[in-house]
A and B are shown apart, each in its own frame.
Chain A
């Protein structure tokens, strides 16, 4: 069974800082998903990755298939980025989530 680990569990940042959230998994996968859960509870898919790197606005996601590791980066963080970020493998197994708080 695939084990999915995320780090850090909690992250506090000042507005403008560069943020990195990490996700590691134990077995080969077809795709890794990065999700964002807002304080109100809604979940939005940010990225779906099979290889390489994707960018959307200030968000960048990378995956290293050989190392079984993915990272989510937020450049120039903003208070509205405050949320829980969750990685997921093949829509089946979830990481425990990273709670990000960005202060002005």
Chain B
């Protein structure tokens, strides 16, 4: 299996632009997590899906952030409009179960908003 695949690896954009991050989970995994990592706050959960349904989106910073999982093999995290404080590494991870199964991480997307 190719593992969790994220794209792009790096994204540089200007403030106000729309940013879309993509994730393909491991085939057969039914839980998908979006995390953000910054120097100041470390790793934080943004949202997670179970069987394509959003279960907990309490970590989504504000209305500028939205996430979708239209099918079991694809998820997007969109920021519109982007702001410099959104600059971070965004990780997608998947697991075979919601809580009691091991997590598998993608390589992350390094986002820089200028």
Residue numbers of A with Cβ under 8 A of B are: 30-31, 33, 35, 41-45, 48, 50, 86, 88, 90-97
Contact = CB atoms under 8 A, between A and B. Distances in A.
B17 to A, nearest CB: 24
B100 A45 contact: no
Contacts, number: 54
Contacts of A93: 45
Interface residues of B, number: 22
A33 B42 contact: no
Interface string B16-57: 000000000000000101000000001111001000000010
B43 A91 contact: no
A44 B43 contact: no
Contacts of A95: 42
B87 interface: no
